[in-house]
């Protein structure tokens, strides 16, 4: 499969690297030449410096023979324009655009462009994690790998020294008594 990826940010570079590793023909278009440094040393695809919203740049990247275009820059407008150019000017069969605004995403879908919205993905994952736990998100929300410490800091630790310093005033007074909330049986706050 021949793929053009517009944008070599974190997402674009990761997708380009993975598709390249799987043996796909990948061309990455990016305005900032330094961004190509995100691609691994063994990247076998092509890189084109320029804007994915420029018809000549798209043509030089091989848009007329491309099976899939992914517009993955940080800007919804750039992605939408590159996607429309690929779909409607070059007739690329599949076009996917990263559109963070859910309303814009719907509008581009109505134009025949597949969309992905991290706003929707993140929102759905967080709601699922809140209601069902991180494990229910299929890896979108990672569960904690350790339990937080509970209770007093270990004796002799730096954390215990810091806690004592916060309690004992600098003027040499004895420790102040600290009132802790109680469970309601013996008083307390």
pLDDT at 176 over 60: no
Q: What is the pLDDT of residue 169?
A: 61
pTM: 0.74
Question: Which residues are CB-neighbours of 96 under 8 A, at least 6 positions away?
Answer: 68, 69, 70, 71, 83, 113, 114, 115, 116
How many whole angstroms separate alpha carbon 106 and alpha carbon 111?
Answer: 9
> What CATH number is given to the structural domain containing 24?
3.40.50.720
- pLDDT digit string, tens, across residues 114-156: 999 999 999 999 999 999 999 999 989 998 887 766 777 778 8
Please check whether residue 180 lies inside any domain of the structure.
no
Please check whether residue 148 lies inside any domain of the structure.
no
Determine the average pLDDT of the residues in 79-105.
Answer: 97
**Confidence class of residue 167 from pLDDT cuts 50, 70 and 90?**
confident
99: containing domain: 2-128
How many whole angstroms separate alpha carbon 30 and alpha carbon 119?
Answer: 23
Please check whether residue 188 lies inside any domain of the structure.
no
pLDDT at 185 over 70: no
What integer best gives the mean pLDDT of the chain? Answer: 89
SS (H, E, C) 105-130: HHHHHCCCCEEECHHHHHHHHHHHHH
- How many domains, in total, are found in the chain? 1
Please check whether residue 9 lies inside any domain of the structure.
yes
Please check whether residue 122 lies inside any domain of the structure.
yes
Q: What is the pLDDT of residue 79?
A: 98
């Amino acid at each position: 499969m021949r793929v053009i990826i517009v944008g070599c940010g974190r997402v674009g570079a990761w997708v380009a690297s993975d598709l390249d590793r799987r043996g796909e023909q990948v061309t990455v278009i990016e305005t900032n030449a330094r961004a190509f440094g995100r691609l691994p040393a063994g990247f076998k695809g092509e890189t084109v410096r320029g804007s994915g919203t420029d018809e000549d740049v798209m043509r030089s990247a091989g848009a007329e023979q491309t099976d899939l275009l992914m517009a993955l820059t940080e800007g919804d407008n750039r992605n939408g324009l590159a996607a429309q150019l690929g779909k409607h000017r070059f007739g690329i069969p599949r076009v996917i655009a990263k559109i963070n605004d859910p309303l814009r995403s719907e509008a581009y879908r109505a134009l025949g462009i597949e969309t992905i919205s991290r706003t929707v993905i993140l929102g759905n994952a967080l709601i699922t994690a809140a209601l069902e736990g991180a494990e229910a998100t299929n890896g979108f929300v990672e569960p904690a790998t350790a339990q937080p410490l509970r209770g007093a800091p270990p004796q002799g630790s730096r954390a215990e020294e810091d806690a004592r310093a916060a309690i004992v005033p600098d003027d040499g007074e004895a420790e102040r008594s600290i009132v802790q909330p109680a469970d309601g049986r013996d008083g307390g706050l």
